[in-house]
Structure 1
Amino acid sequence: MKELLEKIKDKQIFITGGAGFIGSTLAKVLLPDNKVIIYDSFARNAIKNTELLNHPNLTLVEGDILDLEFLTKSIQGSEYVIHCAGIAGIDTVVKNPVKTMQVNMIGSANLLEAANKLENCKRVVCFSTSEVFGQVAFKSEEITPTVLGAVGEARWTYAVSKLAEEHMAYAYYKQYGLPTVTVRPFNVYGPNQVGEGALKAFIENALQNKNIQIHGDGSQIRAWCYVDDMVEGVIRTLVHDSAIGESFNIGNAKAVTTIYGLASTIVRVLNSKSEINFIPKTSADIELRIPKVDKARELLGFEAKVDLEHGITNTAKFFEGVLV
């Protein structure tokens, strides 16, 4: 990572959703040698009570990506743009489908329009989602057909909105030459995670010896990516020109387990007394999700390094301090 960061120094980097989980982790890595502007509504705030708040290179801007005028004003002078902002999390999406579509589609269109007016924009990295591959995604490649999902099933509202963002990002690259990149995160977890997330919820309950609830029978299969690996993948898209105009799966194809296997591993690794319970599913679920990351490896030199048990241990250490 140190060699990568040597290539990004004394730059102005604009991060939408920078107060969130991945955005704040990115900011922490980039702040020592760059001016970082976090543009966020602070609906989910992972940077409160952290050392980031007092960093001299950090500027916090409370704003909405639906406000094109303010967004355009706030982004001025930036050379790198990382677009993490968006509505995510199945429970949040189900409760706010209209807001999800507005923020993820119109907000992303606003961000791309604002970035396109910059004088010296070197990169715009847009965050999509592995959800675009639908319910079954086994070793999915970047060119694997995406799935829109049935109208009326709330879960696919999120996937459709993110897929629209992907098409918009590529359109700005093709029509205007804006140096866009799309990343598709696959089940990212780690310290400082906010909002929803199965692994986070399992760890919090395990630390308190509370019951762990699994929706369905637990046979759903996931590949889990530690946040440090995700951040490295994003940094690589910033420094490699081969990333421009491309999309990349960012995940850990080696850290694969069922949801039940994940819960069992967490209980074992943390020496927890938690019991594992099964409850009915309340919405459509992803039965299988494992990325193929060959493209990221070949063009970016990306390779996830953190194994699942090590990642669980690191994440638990963080939440132990939070839950005290």
Structure 2
Amino acid sequence: MTIVVTGGAGFIGSNFVIEWLKHCDEPVINIDKLTYAGNLGNLASLKGDPRHIFVRADIADSSLISGLLSEHTPRAILNFAAESHVDRSIHGPDDFIDTNVVGTFRLLETARAYWGTSSEPQRSGFRFLHVSTDEVYGSLSQGAAPFSEMSRYEPNSPYSASKAASDHLVRAYHHTYGLPVLTTNCSNNYGPHHFPEKLIPLCIHNALSGKPLPIYGDGQQIRDWLYVKDHCSAIRRVVDDGLIGETYNIGGWNEMTNLEVVKTLCGVLDELRPREDGISYAERIIFVKDRPGHDRRYAIDASKIESELGWRPAETFETGLRKTVQWFLNNQAWVKDVTSGAYRAWVEKQYNGGVDG
């Protein structure tokens, strides 16, 4: 038995591959295009592991992907491959349409052809799991109920619109062609190997570099925070036991404002790596101009996956954040490697500035 993971050198994908191989011996064919956020350094712990086969490829390369499926006959494809940064989508939406919409379409077509020619019992056991985001549901008002699997799609950025389109394609391929699909919509992830353009890793990096900690607007934007390894455990449950055609929302039950997140982060850093001058890192928090169309609140109702599949996150925000900070402190060589000149130019151009998760 084998699985295919796309986008497996990125933040969530690499964590998933590592966690998968910790929990079972089923080999992984790991496909990643290695854009700026894909990093083979994320997979360094798997070097020499025969259960991990890495292939540099684009999910839109139907011929190559088809050949891999024929060669390895996987029982599942887990699609993590995506452009995922809202700010980048505002400045350059083309890549988001190419990867998230066209790429997902090409992958679905390739998977459909593979599944359609498979013999039993492989055909009935095959699954296509699509990893998506809570941002497809739009923005919540302060007192509104959290997003459920029945929430209306109202994407507000080119990124979330491209992910919404990919979700709709996955649904359509199930209802039109019978492809056995599963979809997961997760809240904001954080944890090891998080590329430092998002709120938590950027603020850790800036704090340790003696730079300001930029927060958009008034910092009162609310997000639900999910430790990445909890997300990985949820996906394992869904791919093995989820009902075909169903969507499962995955959240951490941790709603916090961006300002609360950064202040909590500063408190952990004050304890684990205090400044030489004895002043809290929180003194470096600054507020910058808000980004266009900034969603005010996201929140996930993860009761369906708990009641149907028995999954609930193992980490609180505090325990997950402490593990995350400690990982970044212990892996400064990784941080130095990913924060290249191109990355620094992007941060300078984008933020002057602010960031969101």
The answer as to whether partners of 2:19 and 2:229 remain within 8 angstroms in 1 is no
Query: How many Å separate the matches in 2 of 1:227 and 1:181?
Result: 19
Aligned partner letter, 1:265: T
Query: What does 1:96-175 correspond to in 2, within 5 Å?
Result: 96-118=92-114, 119=118, 120=122, 122-136=126-140, 138-149=145-156, 156-175=157-176
Query: How many Å separate the matches in 1 of 2:197 and 2:129?
Result: 23
Secondary structure of the residue aligned to 1:124 is: strand
Q: 1:322 aligns with which of 293, 309, 331?
A: 331
Query: How many Å separate the matches in 1 of 2:101 and 2:108?
Result: 11
Aligned partner letter, 1:136: L
Query: How many Å separate the matches in 2 of 1:243 and 1:199?
Result: 34
Larger helix fraction of residues: 2
Q: 2:12 aligns with which of 22, 28, 35?
A: 22
Secondary structure of the residue aligned to 2:101 is: helix
Query: How many Å separate the matches in 1 of 2:321 and 2:64?
Result: 39
Shift of 1:94: 2.3
Aligned partner letter, 1:224: W
Shift of 1:30: 2.2
Query: How many Å separate the matches in 1 of 2:88 and 2:33?
Result: 15
1:41: which partner in 2? 33
Q: 2:91 aligns with which of 80, 89, 95?
A: 95
Shift of 1:282: 2.8
Query: How many Å separate the matches in 1 of 2:262 and 2:215?
Result: 8
The answer as to whether partners of 2:216 and 2:290 remain within 8 angstroms in 1 is yes
TM, length-normalised to structure 2: 0.81
1:233: which partner in 2? 234
Query: How many Å separate the matches in 2 of 1:297 and 1:262?
Result: 25
The answer as to whether partners of 1:46 and 1:194 remain within 8 angstroms in 2 is no
* Structure ID, larger Rg: 2
1:250: which partner in 2? 250
Query: How many Å separate the matches in 1 of 2:92 and 2:4?
Result: 27
Shift of 1:185: 1.3
Shift of 1:212: 0.9
Query: How many Å separate the matches in 1 of 2:196 and 2:61?
Result: 24
Deviations 1:258-283 (A, max 9, x none): 11111111111221532211011132
Residue correspondences, number: 306
Shift of 1:211: 2.1
Secondary structure of the residue aligned to 2:153 is: coil
Shift of 1:216: 0.5
Gap regions ≥5 residues in structure 2? 275-279, 334-357
Q: 2:2 aligns with which of 12, 18, 36?
A: 12
